Amino acid sequence: MGNPDTSSDTHESNMMPMNGTAMKGIERILIIRLSAIGDVVRTLPAVNALRERFPTAYIAWVVEEKARDVLVHQPEIDETIVFQRNRWKKALLNPLGFLRTTGEVYRFVRELRGRHYDIAFDFHGILKSGLISYMSGAKERVGFDRGYCKEWNHLFNNRKVSPRSNRINRFERNFSLLGPLGLDGGRGDVDLHVSLEDMEYVDQFFRGRRPGMSGPLVAIHPGTSSKTTYKRWSPTKYTELADRLVEELKVSVLFTWGPGERAMVDEVRARMRRDSMVAPETHSLKQLAEIFRRCSVYVGNDTGPMHIASLVKTPVVGIFGPTDPIVNAPYEGTPHIIVRKDLSCSPCRNRGCKDVECMKAISSQDVFEAAKMLLELRENSGDV
């Protein structure tokens, strides 16, 4: 539970801290982390540390549309700038839309450059994020050094940071980018802020909770994005787990879901012997976060919702197969247990794997025991 051991590789950062004069001149900060949802979530604590260090600075964040919702209403961020990657990519393939799109891209760059940022932090580390950082015109451009980024991203940075290892937790890796400011040792606790409208939407659902559904509430999120089906645990095992949680631990089970995942939830619930609830359709990631906040434990695969649950301080049982448990562990400030099997082929990057033995090897008993442990921990702490 908590933090997995990190790699013994201890490559030190090659970047000296900025001097006091340069630090005082930082009034406008640009953050670049374009996607995905889980990666954007895992960047928030580092940005919160920046806000604490520069309370009056203007902080803007460039993000793609799909992950923008995570940043809405966050007090650490003054402005969210949407990089329309998918729309522009489609339009550029259409001769009729080519000129219009190139004009939009030109205006995006011109407006970005016109903000006169003092420093840019490229947490993404790929070609397009490097180009955005460079074209912003920021005087200081902080990014990862060669070997810790992709697609020659290091060429766009004038301050390069080498984390102590490539195999460290993503939260720690993001903090390492703050090394030039002397902030890489912090933890940067953060909360996901929810609007009153989103909170009321969730309130309405919970006010309608059936009287027979009582006890601690366990959220189960069995889905993943359509691009990461190799990280999904079996619906049959989710069924076994849910029934045991209700029968033996006297909890209520709430199934949550995102776009394209409702069918899997319905399949699991249809096989159950016991009653369960299904969450309403959520129209924002903050609504999903608020649902998780009201649960005693979260159970699910290695996904963005898992990281969202950990940032709202809901104890997490993460079911890991091919993904690296060190790199992708939930937020260290929240109790969590990673359930996985130590197979010779895992972790791996083979998204086309047909066998996925690493997921098949995890039993419902394994996950049940982990959930039971976190429920007991929460009960003993008096926070149920």
* Proportion of the chain above pLDDT 90, given as a percent: 79
Task: Give yes or no for residue 6 having a pLDDT over 90.
Answer: no
pLDDT in tens, 222-261: 999 888 999 999 999 999 999 999 999 999 999 999 999 9
The listed CATH number (3.20.20.70, 3.40.50.2000, 3.40.50.880, 3.40.50.300) that belongs to domain 20-181: 3.40.50.2000
pLDDT in tens, 7-41: 333 344 445 577 766 677 899 999 999 999 999 99
Average pLDDT value for the chain: 91
Residue with tokens 């001149």: 25
What are residue 384's DSSP bridge partners? none
Q: What does the pLDDT read at residue 182?
A: 86
Backbone angles phi, psi at 253, to 5 degrees: -110, 130
Task: Give yes or no for residue 292 having a pLDDT over 50.
Answer: yes
Residue with tokens 């787990």: 241
CA–CA distances in Å: residue 7 to residues 164, 324, 378 = 9, 12, 30
Round to the nearest angstrom and report the end-to-end CA distance of the chain: 19
pLDDT in tens, 132-173: 999 999 999 999 999 999 999 999 999 999 999 999 999 999
Domain boundaries, the chain: 20-181, 196-380
The whole-number average pLDDT for the span 66-89 is: 92
| pTM score over 0.85 | yes
Backbone angles phi, psi at 26, to 5 degrees: -85, 110
Domain spanning 196-380, CATH architecture = 3-Layer(aba) Sandwich (3.40)
Are the folds of 20-181 and 196-380 the same?
A: yes
Q: Judging by beta carbons within 10 Å of its beta carbon (0-12, 13-18, 19+), is residue 301 exposed, middle or buried?
A: buried
- Rounded to an integer, what distance in angstroms lies between the CA atom of residue 310 and that of residue 289? 9
Q: What does the pLDDT read at residue 126?
A: 98
Q: What does the pLDDT read at residue 96?
A: 76
Burial call 4-29: b when 16+ CB within 10 Å, e when fewer:
bebeeeeeebebeebeeeeeeebebb
- Token reading at 356: 């996925």
Burial call 197-216: b when 16+ CB within 10 Å, e when fewer:
ebeebbeebeeeeeeeeeeb
* Proportion of the chain above pLDDT 70, given as a percent: 93
Question: Per residue, what are the HEC states of the chain?
Answer: CCCCCCCCCCCCCCCCCCCHHHHHCCCEEEEECCCCHHHHHCCHHHHHHHHHHCCCCEEEEEEEHHHHHHHCCCCCCCEEEEECHHHHHHHHCCHHHHHHHHHHHHHHHHHHHCCCCCEEEECCCCHHHHHHHHHCCCCEEEEECCCCCCCCHHHHCCEEECCCCCCCCHHHHHHHCCHHHCCCCCCCCCCCCCCHHHHHHHHHHHHCCCCCCCCCEEEEECCCCHHHHHHCCCHHHHHHHHHHHHHHHCCEEEECCCCCCHHHHHHHHHHCCCCCEECCCCCCHHHHHHHHHCCCEEEEECCHHHHHHHHCCCCEEEECCCCCCCCCCCCCCCCEEEECCCCCCCCCCCCCCCCCHHHHCCCHHHHHHHHHHHHHHHHHCCCC
Q: What does the pLDDT read at residue 74?
A: 96
Backbone angles phi, psi at 91, to 5 degrees: -70, -35
CA–CA distances in Å: residue 227 to residues 100, 199, 308 = 30, 30, 19
Among 78-92, 215-229, 351-365, the range scoring the smallest mean pLDDT is: 78-92
Task: Give yes or no for residue 199 having a pLDDT over 50.
Answer: yes
- For the chain, what is the radius of gyration of the CA atoms? 22
Q: What does the pLDDT read at residue 13?
A: 44
